[in-house]
Structure 1
Amino acid sequence: LFCERIFGPAKDWECHCGKYKRVRHRGIVCERCGVEVTESRVRRHRMGFIKLAAPVAHVWYLKGIPSYIAILLDMPLRDVEQIVYFNSYVVLAPGNAETLVYKQLLTEDQWLEIEDRIYSEDSQLVGVEVGIGAEALLRLLSDINLEEEAEKLRGEIESAKGQKRAKLIKRLR
């Protein structure tokens, strides 16, 4: 995540592989490692990003108080952590299964049992989708229509009282 090729060299006037050292090579881009020979302080100014192969849940939004991810999903933080840390599966689409509910948590044993039922030859289960990790959270978050959810919450806030109203206001924020 601290790639010298993107952000600049870690040491002043030195490329990563060490082929070019000292000020006399200023501005040269090393053919071997691709790092420009310049001052290391450019790392503070250069912006860049790395496209990761899989989604990641940022700890500030997951474990921060309040947990914005848990509030948006209207799930307890403990359940969200179980999904992110690959301890529990979450139902993304229940399909035609009567026993499954959207956002229901499943243990690995429960999921293996359901998976066996789905892939058996006489199976009637269709459209069941289950996920785990930050990829499942991304899917749950992308399923939320924010404008529609905000309107629904505003309507509920008008009729709610006490602690329930405070929770709804926190979710709307």
Structure 2
Amino acid sequence: MSASTPGQPVADSVRLALPDEAEQLAAIQRRAWQEDLPPEVSAPMLSEASLDAAAEIWRRAIVRPPLAECRVLVAVDGTNGRVTGFAATMPAQDPDADEATDGEVAEFVVDPVSRRRGHGSRLVNAAVDTLRADGYRLARIWVRSTDDVLRGFLSASGWAADGAHRELGDTEAGNRLKQVRLHTAIG
């Protein structure tokens, strides 16, 4: 039985994002910010970037990535073809990264309404496979220091904290976001 047979279900999957999915990525990202971040952090982010502006940023990332190794992947629900999450892969950007061996999952977002259905597992595996195919031997990802669910999910998948941490945001406005870096060997 072929997956493309009319009327037959198609398996959930992960693939490269298409330009016309940019608005879905922006909407998913905004829903995740509202769900996952404290209001003092999410409110300024949501007010600074409209859905249209965010969609245009994602469209450019898909159509004209800054480097050949920059990819945007999407998780797709097989029952309705809807994008359920996305990940962006690229060379690691940290000052201590080895540009020849270290890749990064720069964004990893599963739509809050689609979590706990296997999309995140497929997405993180596809992101690691993409980085490995690009020749990287180590994958890195930054996560909120208080996001125990994501950290637990990644730890169960073989990722571990490497001791690096950072703070993003505006100190004076009180919307600082603390992050820790996880890594996993992939080569």
Give TM-score, length-normalised by structure 1: 0.27
Rg (Cα) greater in structure: 1
Larger strand proportion, structure 1 or 2?
2
Q: Whose RCO is larger (CA < 8 A, sep 6+)?
A: 2
Larger helix proportion, structure 1 or 2?
1
